[in-house]
């Protein structure tokens, strides 16, 4: 029987790659719902191709436009709007799997909704887990949901860890540490002075991966790796000190696990998100993803170096936030989102992104993050805190 899937953030980079994989396996997967924020024509095209039962445009005006366009077609897709509709299509009883590929904190409620409804959650939206770590992992456990990491690094770690790592004390003892790889982004080797002058166009130009704007800027500042470090701690139930970050500019080794006997298991492949997406969709099986085989003769050199913490403070800020616990990571995430948006609008220099995150971690109070209201309140107050600083700046 085919699996029913909701793709949250269908019009984004991960959403499109997911639909590309699904289109190769139409006998095995059916699209239940596709969602977007404002891109009406892109979502319409996807509806024509994948014929979902529901399409959600978060923006109400955009939903009206999409509804009008769908009425002129032969589609029976029902168009909904708003955050409640995102939660509805993530938790509907017909749905087996939810691809969580909305960018940023906006993805938290629908992703949590999928977890609470006991779905197979394919997690690309790392910000949701960073914000709500403990609450989210409890929702997965309490509702017998299945959480599979789509971030290529976490997918690689998942593939390289012993089966049952989280629950089996013997398996846990066999692992020495996790090696989380980072490309280093477009500014690897640059100085702080050089970084002060970089433009949004330079920051979104990732050397190896083609991604949405926000994650591209995060990759350039290494905040993406910081968010991933927190994500890995929650996913695999490890401490931040059990994870070592290694810069690996070729992005071929997606991450590794080091064992007590000296063995290192790595997952490798071309830098194409369709590999982890296909893995998540089909786990424990494997399916064709459209990704070419890795040619070791053209990638005959694999390099590794330590991150430069003086120039890229995001990793240490993330370790600090995870170790502080409670709402600290939600504050870090919210501050980063507001600062990245301001950088993309050319209101602040690139180096101000981590300065603002640092200021928020020092200026906002942390609380115990045991319910969603506290987490959302921490998110809002960190956003206000950073926005006021940006307004004072400009």
Ligand X SMILES: NC(=O)c1ccc[n+]([C@@H]2O[C@H](COP(=O)([O-])OP(=O)(O)OC[C@H]3O[C@@H](n4cnc5c(N)ncnc54)[C@H](OP(=O)(O)O)[C@@H]3O)[C@@H](O)[C@H]2O)c1
Among residues 2, 26, 38, 371, which is the contact residue for ligand X, using CB under 6 A? 38
> Least Å distance between CB 332 and ligand X?
14
Q: Which of residues 148-167 bind ligand X (CB under 6 A)?
A: 151
**Contact (Cβ atoms closer than 8 angstroms) between residue 70 and residue 79:** yes
Residue nearest to ligand X (CB): 12
- The b/e string for 91-110 (b: 16+ C-beta within 10 A; e otherwise) is bbeebebbbbbbbbbbbbbb
Contact region with ligand X (CB under 6 A), list: 37-45, 90-98, 196-204, 252-260:
37-45
Q: Which of residues 334-373 bind ligand X (CB under 6 A)?
A: none
Among residues 13, 91, 111, 381, which is the contact residue for ligand X, using CB under 6 A? 13
Alpha carbons 287 and 152: distance in angstroms, whole number: 16
> Least Å distance between CB 362 and ligand X?
25
C-beta of 44 vs 175, nearer to ligand X = 44
Contact status: 274 vs ligand X (CB under 6 A): no
Contact region with ligand X (CB under 6 A), list: 35-43, 74-82, 291-299, 379-387:
35-43
> Least Å distance between CB 326 and ligand X?
22
Among residues 5, 12, 140, 333, which is the contact residue for ligand X, using CB under 6 A? 12
User: What is the SS3 assignment for 274?
Assistant: helix
Q: Please, what is the angle between helix 126-142 and helix 328-344, to 10°?
A: 150
Interface with ligand X (CB under 6 A), residue total 28
Alpha carbons 256 and 271: distance in angstroms, whole number: 15
Backbone angles phi, psi at 123, to 5 degrees: -95, 105
Q: Which of residues 190-249 bind ligand X (CB under 6 A)?
A: 209, 211-215
41 — alpha (psi -120 to 50), left (phi > 0) or beta?
Answer: alpha
Q: How many beta carbons lie within 10 A of that of residue 33, not counting itself?
A: 28
Among residues 77, 125, 219, 255, which is the contact residue for ligand X, using CB under 6 A? 125
Give the DSSP letter string of 314-367: HHHHHHHHHHH-TTHHHHHHHHHHHHHHHHHTTSS-TTHHHHHHHHHHHHS---
Sheet with 97-100, strands from edge to edge, namely: 78-81, 54-57, 29-36, 3-8, 97-100, 120-123, 146-149
Contact region with ligand X (CB under 6 A), list: 7-15, 69-77, 360-368, 373-381:
7-15
Among residues 22, 114, 124, 257, which is the contact residue for ligand X, using CB under 6 A? 124
- Binding residues for ligand X, rule: CB under 6 A, are 9-15, 36-39, 58, 101-103, 106, 124-127, 151, 209, 211-215, 273
């Amino acid at each position: 029987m085919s699996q029913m899937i909701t793709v949250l953030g269908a019009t984004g980079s991960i959403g499109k790659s997911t639909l590309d994989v699904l289109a190769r396996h139409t006998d095995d997967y059916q699209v239940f719902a596709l969602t977007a924020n404002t891109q009406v024509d892109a979502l319409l095209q996807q509806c024509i191709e994948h014929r979902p039962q529901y399409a959600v445009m978060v923006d109400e005006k955009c939903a009206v436009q999409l509804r009008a366009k769908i009425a002129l077609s032969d589609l029976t897709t029902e168009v909904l709007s708003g955050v409640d509709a995102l939660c509805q299509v993530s938790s509907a009883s017909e749905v087996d799997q939810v691809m969580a590929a909305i960018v940023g904190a906006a993805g938290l409620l629908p992703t949590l909704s999928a977890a609470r409804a006991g779905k197979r959650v394919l997690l690309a939206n790392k910000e949701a887990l960073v914000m709500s770590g403990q609450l989210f992992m409890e929702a997965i456990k309490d509702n017998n949901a299945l959480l599979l990491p789509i971030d290529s690094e976490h997918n690689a770690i998942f593939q390289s860890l012993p089966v049952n790592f989280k629950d089996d004390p013997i398996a846990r003892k066999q692992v020495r540490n996790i090696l989380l790889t980072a490309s280093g982004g477009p500014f690897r080797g640059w100085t702080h002075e050089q970084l002060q002058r970089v433009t949004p166009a330079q920051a979104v130009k990732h050397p190896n991966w083609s991604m949405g704007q926000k994650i591209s800027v995060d990759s350039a500042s290494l905040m993406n790796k910081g968010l991933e470090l927190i994500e890995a701690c929650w996913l695999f139930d490890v401490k931040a000190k059990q994870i070592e970050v290694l810069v690996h500019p070729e992005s071929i080794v997606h991450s590794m696990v080091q064992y007590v006997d000296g063995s290192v298991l790595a997952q490798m492949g071309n830098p194409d998100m369709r590999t982890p997406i296909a893995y998540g969709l089909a786990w424990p099986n494997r399916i064709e993803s459209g990704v070419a085989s890795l040619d070791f003769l053209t990638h005959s050199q694999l390099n590794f170096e330590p991150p430069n913490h003086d120039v890229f403070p995001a990793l240490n800020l993330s370790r600090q936030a995870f170790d502080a616990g409670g709402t600290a990571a939600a504050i870090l995430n919210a501050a980063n989102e507001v600062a990245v948006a301001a950088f993309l609008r050319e209101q602040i220099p690139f180096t101000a992104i981590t300065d603002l995150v640092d200021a928020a971690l020092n200026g906002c109070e942390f609380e115990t993050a045991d319910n969603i209201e506290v987490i959302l309140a921490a998110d809002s107050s960190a956003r206000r805190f950073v926005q006021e600083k940006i307004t004072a700046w400009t």
